[in-house]
Structure 1
């Protein structure tokens, strides 16, 4: 045991000085804080030199501090953390960071662009409509949606949600057109773009991917039938099934498709793909999360544990994704202008 500890310390020193950035300004701030604190505690157990940054905004002072670190573990969820913003800032100061780069983060965060790419790549995803309140084409978008669903009640129920948000925040189930007005009014209070998609009746699964490998799939069973914010973080009665119950060949197919869905968006490092399977066995991909929750009860640690990986080992493997090779630009430096 003593020799193992010495080896661990040597490995820990190789990571250098690590910053964990958490909090942020999105609606997922509280979840991000839980994720960040769990990661910091894990890195400390592994002997890594780590500093926690609980941020509210991205200031020049924050960047000045972060440029002195060897790696940044991004524990920010939602806007600012998963949309390419913090990734771009870190590239500008030349500091390696965990997870997807600027492009992959931005595409995965935008559920509308995600669906467009998946459709082009032949990856199944539920039928959808975009309503962009800030677009000059909003009236046409609304008319097209109304024309599709107004005369076809079999399309219901529908899901309405922000086009750029996570943790099931702002997600509502719409049973009929009578509910559309109030749901649009509520949705547009916090988002300018809303995505409406077909509700898939069936079982929900999630697939964790890291470094080109898909880990054991998890089947999610929410007591209410809806895996919403409360089911994820509040009620505590959601069941997570590992093994997931799919036949071995079906699970392998889902894992392969999850990797394809992940890589089609230019995502890299680690992430999680959420999937619905209907009563006919048809898969529908819903979303890719580029910075999934990382508390010790989150989905990614559960999948890793099923593959024999401890939480601390998982955190270090994710930290390994913060490689300098991913930086597309050299560190920006300023020079004094001579008069």
Structure 2
């Protein structure tokens, strides 16, 4: 197949996306596909678009280096100057030449349904779920509403859209609590707080990232994640941060977490989490694959937190670890995601 891997972008998760994109690019090349790796935001100049898949250069070498670790969105946008188009040079044209686009974008403008909707309008086939479920899963407050409507256990929560709702949120949830920017990814804009002052400061920070803030009951317990592929749960991973919780640093800094797959759980608990992962997948109208995150409290009750519709995709990422337990290696997993994704069309 002629495949474009879309990565990069202008979100705070750009760096993580590029790591995923390069891994998928190499994996699909190893399976004999003609693959082009593109930075969706900066694109590529001086290429023969008509014959792009005959160009055997190392496309990973052409990705723009920002020169700043974890750059914010405004800084990335500033590098394009007056060019306001989200799509970089030749990106649309190359995607329309492809048989398939593999999505390796994380965070805003990648995981939130906007790119998916644009590709739908361009009649381009792509990996993962559609624009609607992408948007639903990106906003954790909407995700929670659907969990509750479908009887899926989730921590109690309260959403505010102005600071005027702060006192009501405190009264409704109580301490300890988690304060979140609902559209943040990779645990960016997530604070565990124990006092009203901490909660207020966390709310202020979250309003810098989003136009509404989610206050959530804090569940003391163990952290797990369960991938779902084509509606079926994969083996579970237990995530044990060496310090704190599974935030951005712990997700992407080597040695920050201990990840155990399959998780050491009694069979009944394992089956419960897998069942609830499949139910969450269905409730959120997700297609193809996703990663569902859970907390398990001291009474062994699992609480569903959120769904990640474009989870990290390197050989050591969580879903690839889960697939490996089933004997599916990383290149095979990438191909399987393509195969299942094509069922959308």
1:119 to 148, 165, 170: 148
2:240 and 2:170 map into 1 onto residues whose CA distance is: 32
Q: Root-mean-square deviation (CA), in Å?
A: 1.5
* Count of aligned pairs: 301
- What's the CA shift string for 1:206-248, capped at 9, x where partnerless? 0011112111001111111411111111252311112311111
SS at match of 1:215: strand
Q: Show the counterpart of 1:326.
A: 344
Which aligned pairs between 1:133-212 and structure 2 lie closer than 5 A? 133=162, 139=164, 141-149=165-173, 155-212=174-231
TM-score of the pair, normalised by structure 1: 0.85
Shift of 1:60: 8.2
- What's the CA shift string for 1:112-171, capped at 9, x where partnerless? 1100010010001101111224xxxx63x334213335xxxxx32211111102111121
Kept after mapping to 1: 8 A contact 2:40/2:88: no
1:94 to 111, 123, 126: 123
SS at match of 2:235: coil
Q: Which residues of structure 1 form unaligned runs of 5+?
A: 1-15, 150-154, 328-339
User: Are 1:26 and 2:45 matched, yes or no?
Assistant: no
Q: Show the counterpart of 2:318.
A: 299
Q: Show the counterpart of 1:12.
A: none
1:245 and 1:225 map into 2 onto residues whose CA distance is: 21
TM-score of the pair, normalised by structure 2: 0.84
Q: Show the counterpart of 1:75.
A: 104
Higher mean displacement: 67-76 or 217-226 = 217-226
Kept after mapping to 2: 8 A contact 1:21/1:54: yes
User: Are 1:55 and 2:40 matched, yes or no?
Assistant: yes
SS at match of 1:156: coil
Higher mean displacement: 66-75 or 245-254 = 245-254
SS at match of 2:223: strand
2:30 to 41, 45, 51: 45
SS at match of 2:340: coil
Shift of 1:86: 0.8
Q: Show the counterpart of 2:336.
A: 317
Q: Show the counterpart of 1:271.
A: 290
Shift of 1:192: 1.7
Q: Show the counterpart of 1:4.
A: none
